[in-house]
Structure 1
């Protein structure tokens, strides 16, 4: 009964891992990552507390497109572009996510913040 839910390569929820990420509002951030555009957006994460309350954190994120390169997926190597995301919220831990995005906007791998309890999770697409 453990799960990590993803949307187009971005983590949007988790269950059964502790400090569950209940939901996110990721539309703007996901769009900027997929289009490899720079700028600033809001990003919301909601967590389940030990008291079974939902804690909502509104982050202000800066998206920075990076250089092109190649990402290895199993035996295949594909061209990707890197995208860095820095997020901050008042009174909360800031974080730095990194993504590798294929030409069609698919996030093929990344390092993503899952909250104070879990920290970062590395993700990689298994099939493309």
Structure 2
């Protein structure tokens, strides 16, 4: 990550730390933690802070790049990601504490430094189904087992869609909600995608794997502006 981007990310999370300081009184440990790392918020033995509620459009604009707010509900973790690199239709996102995710057309295809990472995923059929192609679709996930051997999980997924309203870009958008129900030999799960008229996934809840559970994300900035 470049020096300029790192400085902008630090400014974003320092601003958020100051907002937390104003709202949390003497909870200096939380402020220092967020100022230094700017990502995960899970103080041991303390209720989780409402980090999303403290982020402002001005903080996001200061990052100078698209920003995502993500949660890992199974772990009670909140993470802010800033776009790192684009490679074709795949985009990698990085947190200040070096967690990373990769999205392909808004669909999660990899995580890093989450523990129990999704090493890679084949989601061509999934993306076609989200765009309106008739299902079912197949998705392939790859993980590492305890001996660092690659393990492949295959799923068959069905889809349903309905009009909805989703929070994104600090506002409410009329969207199409697509529910994806996937079944495989190892486990079954449900993903949700809120898709704007542009075809962009503006909000999502997606399965990472058994060790992590779901990752949810919300777009805080319009990628078309960058």
TM-score of the aligned structures, taking structure 1 as reference length: 0.90
In the alignment, is residue 119 of structure 1 matched against residue 216 of structure 2?
no
Q: Which has the larger radius of gyration?
A: 2
Q: Which residue of 2 aligns with 1:101?
A: 195
Supply the distance in 2 between the matched residues of 1:50 and 1:71 (Cα, whole angstroms): 39
Contact 2:170 2:220 in 1 (8 A): no
Q: Which residue of 1 aligns with 2:163?
A: 68
Q: Deviations over 1:94-121 (max 9, x none)?
A: 0011110111211111111000000011
Supply the distance in 1 between the matched residues of 2:192 and 2:170 (Cα, whole angstroms): 22
Structure 1 regions of 5+ residues with no counterpart? none
Two-structure CA RMSD over aligned residues (Å): 1.3
Structure 2 regions of 5+ residues with no counterpart? 1-97
Superposition deviation, residue 38 in structure 1:
4.5
Structure 1 stretches of 4+ moved >6 Å = none
Q: Which residue of 2 aligns with 1:86?
A: 181
| Relative contact order higher in (CA < 8 Å, ≥ 6 apart) | 1
Supply the distance in 1 between the matched residues of 2:196 and 2:133 (Cα, whole angstroms): 14
Deviates most, 71-80 or 104-113: 71-80
**SS in structure 1 of the partner of residue 125 of structure 2:** helix
Supply the distance in 2 between the matched residues of 1:25 and 1:75 (Cα, whole angstroms): 31
Contact 1:9 1:125 in 2 (8 A): no
TM-score of the aligned structures, taking structure 2 as reference length: 0.53
Superposition deviation, residue 62 in structure 1:
0.6
Supply the distance in 2 between the matched residues of 1:36 and 1:124 (Cα, whole angstroms): 22
Greater percentage in helix: 2
Q: Deviations over 1:5-47 (max 9, x none)?
A: 11121111011111111111101101211x2445201100001
Superposition deviation, residue 77 in structure 1:
2.0
**Aligned residue pairs: how many?**
125
Supply the distance in 1 between the matched residues of 2:146 and 2:154 (Cα, whole angstroms): 20
Contact 1:2 1:15 in 2 (8 A): yes
Superposition deviation, residue 3 in structure 1:
0.7
- Residues 37, 68 of structure 1: alpha-carbon distance in 2 compared, 3 angstrom cutoff: farther
Contact 1:37 1:63 in 2 (8 A): no
Greater percentage in strand: 1
